[in-house]
Amino acid sequence: MVCFFIPPHIAKRVAEADASFASGIRVDASLRSERADGVKVRGPIRVYSASNRTAIPGKLVTDNDDMADRVSSHAYAISQALDVSEFPDGVVRYGVGYANAFFNGSYLIFGEGDGQVFGDFTASLDIMAHEFGHALVALGPGLLYSGESGALNEHLADVFGVCVQQWTAQDQTDWRIGEEIMLDGVSAVRDMRNPGSAYDSPILGRDPQPGHMDQYQKIRGDNGGVHINSGIPNRAFALLCEKTGEPSWGRPLAMWRRAMQDLGPRSGFRNLATATCTHSGGLSSAVREAWSEVGISI
């Protein structure tokens, strides 16, 4: 399983405006056909440079390197926020103008961006935490990366991403993810509190994420809309934090992490909703309300 941060519907729109972007889409397509043998998580993170090639991992970085230093710094923040001590290794400078980041089961891999729409992907802490979240999901419930279970996979990765970001800032007002890589200075890749509002531009189009089951999109692309329909549980998580006043990285994150243990490869939104209610402690009423507001009754 290869889990990308930038979804194919965004990449396709950018490629229509800039033909040079199509090479990155071809790389993504070839990677989607690959399967990792198993998730590899080691001790403290090591960072490699692919030197603008696509051979992984490349050369181990031992000297000062801005991109590698950012990845190491992000790894430290993630370890503190999530209380973890082991990481997959990182790879920077993947490809030429490659505008994505992904976890391939062994490495957290970052491109430098195309310089037109997307900047350096190591600039965003929440992107790295999101990709690390995929490693945690793979080691836990192993959610299939397709349809509703795939959207749940993306949702859980987003939860880890935003919680690390908000813990680091000690601020729960920003529910956007990936805004640091957007060179227009306005857009983000997703908005967990308000799905569908992360971006709206001539190049990117309009954010298609729904925030309610009434708008769930049954599509063939994007592995059944995994990056699109994840907006529904994303909003439920943000609403829970809003209703309770609890910091995302506190009781809500702990609840979601315990709920993950009750999930299996084919679990869907309702399975997570039920599990979060089971592990809600004194927050069960708010949990039910949050899920109900996105069309999931438990």
Residue 227 falls in the annotated catalytic set: yes
**How many CA atoms lie less than 13 Å away from 216 in the CB half-sphere?**
16
Residue 212 falls in the annotated catalytic set: no
Q: How far apart are CA 78 and CA 239, in angstroms?
A: 23
Q: How far apart are CA 256 and CA 157, in angstroms?
A: 11
Of 155, 227, 246, 279, which is the active-site residue? Answer: 227
Question: Cβ neighbours of residue 214 under 8 Å, at least 6 residues apart?
Answer: 295
Beta strands in the chain (DSSP E): 3-4, 47-49, 59-60, 89-92, 101-103, 107-110, 176-177, 190-191, 200-201, 205-206
List beta partners, residue 4: 102
Determine the residue type at 3.
C
Question: Cβ neighbours of residue 35 under 8 Å, at least 6 residues apart?
Answer: 1, 105
Determine the residue type at 277.
C
Please list the alpha-helical segments (H only) found in 57-139: 66-82, 125-139
Q: How far apart are CA 153 and CA 164, in angstroms?
A: 17
Of 74, 130, 131, 179, which is the active-site residue? Answer: 131
User: Which are the catalytic amino acids?
Assistant: 131, 227
